[in-house]
Amino acid sequence: MNKLINDPADVVAEALLGIEAAHPDLRVDHQHKIVYRGDAPRRGKVGLISGGGSGHEPLHGGFVGPGMLDAACCGEVFTSPVPEQMLEATKAVDGGAGVLHIVKNYTGDVMNFEMAAELAAETGVEVLSVVTDDDVAVQDSTWTAGRRGVGATVLLEKIAGAAAEQERTLKEVADVAREVNANARSMGIALTSCTVPANGKPTFELGDSEMEVGVGIHGEPGRRRVPLAPAREIADLLLEPILADLPFSRGDRVITFVNGLGGTPLIELYLMYNEVAKILSAHGIETARSLVGPYITSLDMAGCSVTLLRASDELLQLWDAPVRTPALRWGI
């Protein structure tokens, strides 16, 4: 297992020590594995909390800071955090205006956040939850666990963070967050598996000329395995279901997000971005803003995902608002 780690059981705890050491304006609660904005709680501001399994870095700890999250609760690798963590974070970031939980739609995450919200309600903190489920690879059905939350989560945390910074009410921030999720669609592809440290071997085996289409961010196998294709065909494969699903239409303005899954270098992501941009312009869809890089990863998996967010002027303004976190920063 070619990883820069010590004991696999300590990966999350030790990475948190590194985050703390590297980012003096964040605060880390090592007992509860929570990354806090240094100046939380902010009086009058809605507190924004997210969290989930680790292994998706910079999500979520790298998105803590002014203009984005107030706290990130870090679970074990690919394992949702436990209710106690979210309860603790909720109490710590409440500045009197309530707390928004940003939850990716996985059974474990949803249940653990739900339990935390129930417990928080008992302490009197007002909590609303938003669940992201933007992954079009998964059939949406009341008979399944529903779609996964993937790339939209990054865009949502930024945009809701900006709304919270403007001291909007909890309901308003939650509405903006839901608007982002409702207008975002994603799809991902893997060229290699990832290796969970505690497991020590690749979660699935993929030949040198195969790929998994429709993967999430946990090394789950995708919807289907097909022969490796050139980037331009992969872009088609990713965009076709995305564009059809919302559906996106000629004239739409979007934020285009090409995300690396952790083991794919930036040069390939830019190359993919070019393919995506060509398809979008052929469809008359205008990229108003873009994001290219590894922002929601799956450990060392090679591959990428594409997220499109249909963005109103208001969402774009919130996107442009200053943000100062380890992984996203502009304007300050």
Partner 1 sequence: MTDGRISIEQLTGWLLEFARLVTEHRDELTTLDAAIGDADHGTNMERGMSAVVLGLGGDTVGALCKQAGMTLVSTVGGASGPLYGTFLLRFGSSAGDATELSAAQFAAAMRAGLDGIVSRGKAEREDKTMFDALAPAVEALEAGAGGSLVEALRAAAEAADKGRDATVEMLARKGRASYLGERSIGHQDPGATSAALLVRAAATTLA
Ligand X SMILES: Nc1ncnc2c1ncn2[C@@H]1O[C@H](COP(=O)(O)OP(=O)(O)O)[C@@H](O)[C@H]1O
The residues annotated as belonging to the active site are 56, 218
Residue with tokens 């979008």: 280
Q: If binding is defined by CB under 6 A, does position 8 make contact with ligand X?
A: no
Closest CA to 301 of 258, 264, 276: 264
Q: Which does 1 bind (CB under 5 to 8 A by kind): ligand X, a second copy, Mg ion, none?
A: a second copy
**Segment holding 267, helix H or strand E:** helix 266-282
Q: Could you tell me which of 49, 23, 173, 31 has the C-alpha nearest to residue 102?
A: 49
Q: To 5 degrees, how large is the angle CA 180–CA 185–CA 190?
A: 135
Site string for ligand X, 93-112 (x = CB under 6 A): --------------xx----
Given 63, 78, 273, 319, the residue binding Mg ion (CB under 5 A):
78
Q: Is 182 in the site for a second copy (CB under 8 A)?
A: no
Amino acid identity, residue 158? K
In the window 46-65, what residues touch a second copy (CB under 8 A)?
A: 54-55, 57-58, 62
Which of 226, 231, 152 has the alpha carbon at shortest distance from 186? Answer: 152
3-state secondary structure of 242: helix
Q: Transcribe 15-75 into DSSP letters.
A: HHHHHHHH-TTEEEETTTTEEEETTPSPTTSPEEEEEEEESSTTTTGGGBSTTSBSEEEEE
**Block residue for tokens 């929570």:** 34
Would you say 95 or 202 has its CB closer to Mg ion?
Answer: 202
The half-sphere exposure of 311 on its side-chain side, counting CA atoms within 13 A, is 25
| Binding residues among 214-273 for ligand X as defined by CB under 6 A | none
Among 23, 42, 59, 79, binds Mg ion (CB under 5 A): 79
Q: Which of these segments, 111-119, 154-162, 230-238, 264-272, binds partner 1 (CB under 8 A)?
A: 111-119
Q: State which of positions 77-96 bind a second copy (CB under 8 A).
A: none
Q: Which of 132, 181, 183, 203 binds partner 1 (CB under 8 A)?
A: 203
| Window 227 to 266, contacts with a second copy (CB under 8 A) | 228, 230-232, 234, 258, 262-266
CB of 79 to ligand X, least distance (A): 6
Of 44, 143, 207, 267, the one binding partner 1 by CB under 8 A: 143
Fill in the per-residue mask, 24 to 63: x = in contact with ligand X (CB under 6 A), - = not in contact: ----------------------------------------
What kind and span of H or E run contains 271?
helix 266-282
84 binds partner 1 (CB under 8 A): yes
Q: What is the DSSP letter of 259?
A: E
Q: Which residues pair with 330 in a beta bridge?
A: 323
Q: Which residue is nearest to ligand X (CB)?
A: 108
The answer to whether 4 and 15 are in contact (CB under 8 A) is no
| Binding site residues, Mg ion, CB under 5 A | 78-79
* Interacting residue ranges for partner 1, rule: CB under 8 A: 53, 75-84, 106-108, 111-112, 115, 137-139, 143-145, 148, 196, 198-199, 203-204, 216, 218-221, 223-224
The residues binding ligand X (CB under 6 A) are 79, 107-108
